Each structure stands twice: as C-alpha cells, then as structure tokens.
Amino acid sequence: MSIDDILMHDETIFRDIRVFNPDYVPDKFLHRENQTDALTLCLRPALKGGKPINAIVVGSCATGKTTAIKKIFERVEEYSDRIVCVYINCQLHTTRYNIFSQIYQKIFGHLPPETGIPVTRIYEKIMKHLKKNNQALVVALDDVNYLFHSKNANKIFYDILRAYEEFEGVRTGLFAVISDIEFRYILDKNVKSVFIPQEVIFDPYTYGEMRDILQERVKAGFYPDVISDEILDEVTENTSSIGDLRVGIELLGVLGNLAEADASRAIEDKHLKTAIQNTSSISLKNTLQNLQGKEKKLLELIVISEDEQLTAGNLYKNLNNVEPLSYASFDRLLNKLEFLRLIDVKFTGKGRKGNSRIIFLRFDSEEIGKCII
Ligand SMILES: Nc1ncnc2c1ncn2[C@@H]1O[C@H](COP(=O)(O)OP(=O)(O)OP(=O)(O)O)[C@@H](O)[C@H]1O
Ligand SMILES: [Mg+2]
C-alpha cells in the first residue's frame, strides 16, 4: 500500500480508537468499588459543612488510582458546589508557585498573571474565596513522590492543611497518591506532623480482573468479533506477567493497527506475535522517556559500567566528572532510579562506615541502551 492508500483507507475495525489512548477515561470503572467508596466517604463531611478527611492513596502502577480520583472529583462536583476538587499531577507541577497556581486556576478559571505575584498573594486569594463562599477545598497530589525530589512537600502540605490557622473556618483536605509503598516512610518522615491520613490501598489486579477490564476496552474500542477470546486470553496473560495494565491496553491498540495494516477484519495470531515483540519494552520505554537530563546521564553511566562491580562512590565520581553535583543531589538521583525500579541498590556492609553500596541494573543493559543512548 502507498502512504496515500494507508491514510485514506477508511474501512476500520476500530469502533473508537481513542479508547486505547493513555489518557482515555473509561465509562466503566471495574473492580474498584471499595476504593471509590472509601475516597467518596472522605469527601462526604465537606458536603455537610465539615472538613474533608485526608487520604493517602497507595498502589502500584496502573492500578486505577488516577482514574478513581478523576472520576470521583467529576461526580462530586456535579453533585455539589460546596466543595472545590483540584487534581494536580506532581510530575508536571512541583513548586509551591505551580501548585497554588493550579488551585487558583480551578477556582478563578484562569492562571494568576505570570509576573510579579508572590505565592502568598495567590494563597490569600484562594483562601479568602473559599471562606467567603463557604466552600471546602480538596487537593489531590498525584504522584506526590515528585515533590520529595524537590523537597517541597512539607511546606505545601502545611500550607494546604493548616490554612484554617490563618483563615478561620476554612476547610481543606488532601489526597496524596503514591505508586510505591516504599515511599510511605518518606512521606511519614516529611509531613507526619500535619498529615494524618486514612489509607486507601489499590491492590494489584488479579488475572481475572485484568481480563474483565481489557474485555470492556475491547467492547468499547473494536467492532464485534475483531478479537477472539483466545487472543484476548493471551493479551491478558502477557499483561498480567508484566503486571502493568497499561501495557495490555496499549497492546490492544497496536494489534488493531497491525490487523488494519494487513487489511484484515480480525486480529490474528501473527499480529499478536509481532505486537508482543514490540510492546514488551513499552513500559520500560515510557519510564525512560520521562527521565530528566541528569537522571538519564546517571543511568547511561550505570549501563556502560555494567561489567564491573559498581559502587555508589565510584559512580558519583564518574557522574561528577561530566555533570558536577553535590553528593546529596547524586543520592537523590540514585533514589529516583531505584524508585522507578530501574536499578537495585544493595548495601555491602563494607566501606568506612559499613554503608558502601553496589548498584545493579534491573533490566538488560542492551535494552536500556537502545532507548537512551
Ligand atoms: N478498574 C479499571 N477499569 C477500567 N480501566 C482501568 C481500571 N483501572 C485502570 N484502568 C486503566 O488503566 C490505565 C492506568 O490507570 P491509572 O492511570 O488510573 O493508574 P494509576 O494507578 O494512576 O497508575 P500510575 O501509578 O502509573 O499513575 C488507564 O488507561 C485506566 O483507564
Ligand atoms: Mg496515576
């Protein structure tokens, strides 16, 4: 087929191709009733003039945390204007200024003017507005661990949760979302004095739950009979072995495209084989794409030193040669790569204080190398 043929060809097996996009919010949100109820209960007091209950939302990647919060916020806001719900992605917004600008935007419908306004002014306008209108505020800080990389968490938590000290009667709450249980203790250490949350756990989906969810996507995204039960089983098998529902959803989209490229009305085994080869590293690729400059550089150094026993001390020297930085900054970068499960860091019990560490790659160096170098 020529490029024109491919682009113009208007027969399609997709009922709605957007269903496979990463930001698609599904109509049916399956197997998360308990978590949805628990979070909604945290908001309930705010509808009756009380204070929202703080929550920490914990669960590994693609367990529906973001989707749950977005759906609940949407629903609550349809239901009542006594509560302002603000969703903030902390991967994108890490400074106090950014975060309060997002809250400001939600309340006033536009961002604060770019220049010259200090955070305290923005903060004051937000709180005065809430007080005047007798509205509660709930802020969901999604992927809140990103605030710890920039050490802003404590101040931001404090600003939000202790607003009532300065603005009497203002009612505020926080949902903090983390995708790694190991971050729990960092959160506690940093914000314990102000943040005493209720814990809502998003357990990993079982095979059966994953299959139900993928089946729903199939129904919404493809015309009938495009994919057989057997192929859907294999997609689920693959998804469940990787443990990342996103991979399965993306895989379905890729399969649809491959079948169309073949001018086939159904997805066949050969499409599955090709797609699995290409997508097994999707989740790795996504992670690598989101790395910042220095994080990437550090990972590159780990990849090229893979044959030797790499200590944290030597790694620091290597990185410091190309990108001068303090040991504390280096340590933060290392923690981040460990958090993203790209590397393992093991204490050896050796070294001056017995805290020398060795770094291991968790993925094949060639596979990582292909994506970053
Ligand atoms: N119960 C569900 N029903 C339908 N789709 C779901 C369900 N849970 C998750 N998904 C889908 O899986 C993908 C990942 O979900 P989501 O972004 O909510 O996960 P998350 O827990 O926030 O992940 P992360 O920790 O990586 O941010 C999305 O495409 C979402 O639509
Ligand atoms: Mg999320």
Q: Take residue 273 and report the two structure tokens written for it.
A: 């084989």
Interval between CA 25 and ligand 1 midpoint (Å): 9
The predicted structure's pLDDT at residue 280 = 56
Q: pLDDT, tens digit, for every residue of 13-72?
A: 999 999 999 889 999 999 999 999 999 999 999 999 999 999 999 998 899 999 999 999
Residue 269 vs residue 281, higher pLDDT: 269
Distance between CA atoms of 248 and 239, rounded to whole angstroms?
5
Beta carbon of 341 within 6 Å of any ligand 1 atom? no
Give the range among 34-43, 105-114, 134-143, 237-246 with minimum mean pLDDT: 237-246
Is position 28 within any domain? no
Q: Is 179 in the pocket of ligand 1 (CB under 6 A)?
A: yes
For the ranges 234-238, 278-282, 355-359, the lowest mean pLDDT is seen at 278-282
- Domain end among 140, 168, 202: 202
Looking at residue 225, what is its pLDDT?
A: 94
Residue 172's SS3 state is strand
pLDDT score of 242: 77
Q: What is the mean pLDDT of residues 305-312?
A: 84
Q: Is 31 in the pocket of ligand 1 (CB under 6 A)?
A: yes
Shared domain for 167 and 313, answered yes or no, is no
Burial readout 340-363 (b: 16 or more C-beta within 10 A, e: otherwise): bebbeeeeeeeeeeeeebbbebeb
Within a domain: residue 124? yes
Q: Are 133 and 41 contained in the same domain?
A: yes
pLDDT band at residue 256 using 50, 70 and 90 as cut-offs: very high
Cβ neighbors of 58 (< 8 A, separation 6 or more) are 177, 178, 179, 181, 184, 199, 200, 201, 202
Q: Say whether both 215 and 195 belong to one domain.
A: no
pLDDT of residue 79: 93
Ligand of minimum distance to the alpha carbon of 70: 1
Q: What average pLDDT does the segment 262-278 reach?
A: 89
The last residue of one of the domains, among 186, 202, 218, is 202
Measured from the CB, is residue 47 less than 6 Å from ligand 1? no
| Residue to probe by mutation, ligand 1, list 18, 66, 91, most atoms within 8 Å of CB | 66
Atom of ligand 1 nearest to the CA of 143: 27
Domain annotation covers residue 340: yes
Residues 67, 152, single domain; the answer is yes
**pLDDT value at 209 more than 80:** yes
Segment 149-161 shows an average pLDDT of 87
- pLDDT value at residue 325: 93
When mean pLDDT is compared across 3-7, 282-286, 367-371, the lowest value belongs to 3-7
User: What CATH number corresponds to the domain at position 151?
Assistant: 3.40.50.300
pLDDT in tens, 100-132: 999 999 999 999 987 778 999 999 999 999 999
The pLDDT tens digits of the residues spanning 313-347 come to 999 999 999 999 999 889 888 988 887 778 888 87
Tokens of 295: 């994080």
Residue nearest to atom 4 of ligand 1 (CA): 29
Contacts of 23 (CB under 8 A, 6+ apart): none
How many angstroms does the Cα of residue 7 sit away from the middle of ligand 2?
A: 33
Q: Which of 223, 257, 280 is the last residue of a domain?
A: 280
Instruction: Tell me the CA–centroid distance for residue 272 and ligand 1, in Å.
Output: 23
Percent residues over pLDDT 70 in the chain: 94
pLDDT value for 346:
82
pLDDT of amino acid 251: 93
Cβ proximity of 212 and 31 under 8 Å:
yes
Same domain, 106 and 132: yes
67 C-alpha to center of ligand 1: Å? 6
- CA 295 / ligand 1 centre spacing (Å): 26
Identify the pLDDT of residue 365.
Answer: 82
For ligand 2, a single-atom ion, the residues with CB < 5 A are 66
Q: Are 148 and 275 part of one and the same domain?
A: no
* Domain carrying residue 318: 290-372
Between 182 and 167, the more confident residue is 167
**332 CB-side CA count, 13 A:** 13
Say what angle helices 327-339 and 293-304 make with each other, to 10 degrees. 80
Whether 137 is covered by a domain: the verdict is: yes
Q: Is it the case that residue 353 has pLDDT exceeding 70?
A: no
* Distance from C-alpha of 183 to C-alpha of 178, rounded to nearest angstrom: 7
Instruction: Answer yes or no: do 144 and 233 share one domain.
Output: no
Assessment of whether the complete model's pTM goes beyond 0.95: no
